Amino acid sequence: MSFLDIHDLGARYGSLRVLDGIDLSVEQGEVVSLIGPSGSGKSTLLKVITGLMKPDRGRVTLAGAAVDYSNRKSLKAARDRLAIVFQQYNLFGNMTVLRNVTVAPTTIKKRNRRQVEEKARELLDRVGLGDKLHVYPDQLSGGQQQRVAIARALCLEPEILLLDEVTSALDPERVSEVLDTIRLLAKDNIAMLIVSHEMSFVRDVSHRIAFMADGRVQEIGSPEQIFDNPQTDRTRDFVGRISRVGH
């Protein structure tokens, strides 16, 4: 069985059905990207996976264990294995960069403080922020904040990393620095589920790409299949429109 396995997942906001039977899987160490029109439910899917929103049908299995989202223990166990980086960085405003990265591993996961700090420094170095350890988030640019958020997620040592449009709030010149960071990580053996509108990046970094529309995965396949030889009209439409806009 896959590392992350999603079967027939459904969710809604009130009467608005957003996810309508999602089937998706991510293998260990695999990078899967989600693309699709705005409002197709990509963020919602990540919210459901991370337990920020309750599904109303279907099943999520993580590392072989079915996640029961109304059971606190089960949810906690699932969250222990994953990390997410949000579109809007969500760094804690009351903590320094270093503390943002170390707070969960030390205080929540009770790992050894010295080792965590060492690892945090190394990660922040890798994302190019080794000189900003004791600065507060609002003293950083958007791109820098996003890189801290990525370091924070990685310091949790997750088995799977979820990224939700991590570049969409950034100026164009900041996008590449964040994408480069992720590319670097993609070489490490960590599973990733990436939501992105950066088609060239997605194509470059993903093992498989899933096209989502109307609350379902319409097509999933290799980057070559999705971009050069889409099997469904909707995917062809979407990819065609996106590349004409010049992404």
Ligand X SMILES: Nc1ncnc2c1ncn2[C@@H]1O[C@H](COP(=O)(O)OP(=O)(O)OP(=O)(O)O)[C@@H](O)[C@H]1O
Q: In the window 62-91, what residues touch another protein (CB under 8 A)?
A: 76, 79-80, 82-84, 86, 88, 90-91
Cα separation, 29 vs 21, whole angstroms: 25
* DSSP labels, 143-180: HHHHHHHHHHHHHT--SEEEEESTTTTS-HHHHHHHHH
- Between 84 and 98, CB nearer to another protein: 84
Collapsing DSSP states into helix, strand and coil, what is residue 104? Answer: helix
- Binds Mg ion (CB under 5 A): choice among 33, 40, 43, 106: 43
DSSP letter, residue 129: -
| Count of beta carbons in the 10 Å neighbourhood of residue 3 | 18
Other CB atoms within 10 A of residue 205 CB: 21
Distance, CA of 50 to CA of 78 (rounded, Å): 8
Q: How many CB atoms lie within 10 A of CB 221?
A: 16
> Taking CB under 5 A as the rule, which mask of x and - marks residues 76-115 in contact with Mg ion?
----------------------------------------
What is the distance between the alpha carbons of residues 100 and 239, in angstroms, rounded to a whole number? 38
Of 63 and 199, CB closest to ligand X = 199
* Interacting positions 16-55 with another protein (CB under 8 A): 50-52
Q: Decide which of another protein, Mg ion, ligand X, none touches 41; Cβ closer than 5 to 8 Å per partner kind.
A: ligand X
Q: Which of 28, 71, 107, 243 binds another protein (CB under 8 A)?
A: 107
Minimum Å gap between C-beta 242 and ligand X is 12
- Tokens read off for 61: 């299995």
Q: Count each helix (H run) and each strand (E run) in the chain, helices first.
A: 9, 10
Q: Which does 93 bind (CB under 5 to 8 A by kind): ligand X, another protein, Mg ion, none?
A: another protein
**Can you give the binding site for ligand X, defined by CB under 6 A?**
13, 16, 18, 38-44, 165
Residue placing its CB nearer to ligand X in the complex, 14 or 93: 14
Query: Which of another protein, ligand X, Mg ion, none does 190 bind, CB closer than 5 to 8 A by kind?
Result: none
| DSSP-derived pairing of the beta strands 31-35 and 57-62 | unpaired
Give the number of residues in contact with another protein, rule: CB under 8 A.
25
Is residue 193 within 8 Å of 163, Cβ to Cβ? yes
Interaction of residue 103 with another protein, rule CB under 8 A: yes
Considering CB distances under 5 to 8 angstroms, the limit depending on partner class, which of another protein, ligand X, Mg ion, none binds residue 38?
Answer: ligand X
Give me the least distance between CB of 119 and another protein, in Å please: 16
Which partner in ligand X, Mg ion, another protein, none is near 201 (CB below 5 to 8 A by kind)? none
Residue 98 and residue 134 in contact, taking contact as beta carbons nearer than 8 Å:
yes
**Contact residue for another protein among 27, 104, 133, 221 (CB under 8 A):** 104
